[in-house]
Amino acid sequence: MMVRSFVSSVVNNPIATDVREFLASCRTLIDAELDRLIPKESESPQRVHSAIRWSVFAGGKRFRPALLIAVGQTFGAPPDHLLRTACALELIHTYSLIHDDLPSMDDDDLRRGRATCHVKFDEATAILAGDALQALAFQTIAEDEKLAPDLRVKLISEVARASGVPEGMVAGQALDLEAESRTVDGDELETIHHRKTGALIRAAARCGAMIPNANEDELEAITAYATNLGLLFQITDDLLDVTATVEDLGKTPGKDARAQKATFPALYGIEATRAQLKSVHTAARSALERIEGETQLLQSIADFILQRQV
């Protein structure tokens, strides 16, 4: 019943221009659906289920699901056709955060203002929680009976390629780790981000377009939009790591610099990075001009990310 009313509020407001309101309503919708999809903490094996819920319900902004829903709405998809795939993207994103935070990877103790999964539980449980989340993501799309089976297999292929190797998120994380010990140039840094964070953001947008069967030109425009949006997202993240406090960020700032990580500010300096931010934002908005019909919501999302820099 609660879900139904959220779905209908989105249906009745198909082009929400207030992006904060849109993001908040997506978040409520996604959180309720994730709660249904994930086993309860009371169910055995309890420790791994608790760990999964600790990380999935850690106050994430649900940006990837919201992007998928925004693109889907833009091309006229009913919201209940978008919900499960949107959740699948969030499950993949959460598994990647859990694994990236592990001691042998980025070794982070704090995420969104609280203990990371392996700190709150233990390393083995964190690895298993991530593994289970990945399986659940693909299960969720495979079992989405609102969508035709031939669409479901296309979505699974899209999400799997965006998650794995050689072009997806795992490849990006591997490149990022390889790059820690040496100097990378701007092109390499873009390649890393294109895969590490860009691939999943692109997949979210592309799935949003595939569900309402957008045509090839529209899919291409959305891909260009999302590629720039991903870069915008990463560059603001890099800037926040330099300029924000632990309180602003909910995680330890300055880590990138201490780890001698390749970042845009480290490579170009803060001012040039801010200029790059604007040009990427312009590119994202230009891509939308190739789409017929109303794209105000997608424009507002690009503006919103630009403004999140502190």
Binding window for its own copies (CB under 8 A); candidates: 12-20, 48-56, 62-70, 108-116: 48-56
For 153, residues 6+ apart whose C-beta sits below 8 A from its C-beta are none
C-beta of 202: minimal distance to its own copies in Å?
A: 15
Task: Pick between residue 83 and residue 280 the one whose CB is nearest to its own copies.
Answer: 83
Among 4, 5, 12, 104, binds its own copies (CB under 8 A): 104
Q: With binding defined as CB under 8 A, does residue 153 bind its own copies? A: yes
C-beta of 271: minimal distance to its own copies in Å?
A: 32
Among 6, 49, 262, 295, binds its own copies (CB under 8 A): 49
Contact pattern from residue 1 through residue 40 relative to its own copies, giving x for each residue in contact according to CB under 8 A and a dash for the rest: --------------------------------------x-
Contact pattern from residue 211 through residue 230 relative to its own copies, giving x for each residue in contact according to CB under 8 A and a dash for the rest: --------------------
Q: With binding defined as CB under 8 A, does residue 64 bind its own copies? A: no
Taking the C-alpha atoms of residue 154 and residue 161, their distance in angstroms, rounded to an integer, is: 11
Binding window for its own copies (CB under 8 A); candidates: 27-35, 121-129, 222-230, 265-273: 121-129
Q: With binding defined as CB under 8 A, does residue 160 bind its own copies? A: yes
C-beta of 289: minimal distance to its own copies in Å?
A: 33
Taking the C-alpha atoms of residue 154 and residue 134, their distance in angstroms, rounded to an integer, is: 17
For 75, residues 6+ apart whose C-beta sits below 8 A from its C-beta are 208, 209, 212, 213, 214, 218
Q: With binding defined as CB under 8 A, does residue 115 bind its own copies? A: no
Among 60, 168, 208, 230, binds its own copies (CB under 8 A): 168
Task: Tell me, by CB under 8 A, how many residues bind its own copies.
Answer: 52
Residue 99 CA, chain-centre distance (Å), reads 15
Q: With binding defined as CB under 8 A, does residue 143 bind its own copies? A: yes
Among 73, 134, 227, 263, binds its own copies (CB under 8 A): 134
- Give the alpha-carbon dihedral of 189, 192, 193, 194, to 10 degrees: 110
C-beta of 269: minimal distance to its own copies in Å?
A: 28
Binding window for its own copies (CB under 8 A); candidates: 68-76, 164-172, 222-230, 243-251: 164-172
Measured CA distances, 306 to 74, 231, 252, 274 (Å): 21, 11, 22, 10
Measured CA distances, 171 to 92, 102, 178, 223, 235 (Å): 14, 17, 10, 19, 19
CB 187 within 8 A of CB 115: no
CB 309 within 8 A of CB 240: yes
Residue 226 CA, chain-centre distance (Å), reads 11
Among 131, 190, 220, 256, binds its own copies (CB under 8 A): 131
Task: Pick between residue 5 and residue 44 the one whose CB is nearest to its own copies.
Answer: 44
Q: Which residues bind its own copies (CB under 8 A)?
A: 39, 43-45, 47-49, 52, 95-96, 99, 102, 104-105, 122-125, 127-128, 130-132, 134-136, 138-139, 142-143, 148-150, 152-154, 156-157, 160-161, 163-166, 168, 170-171, 173-175, 177-178
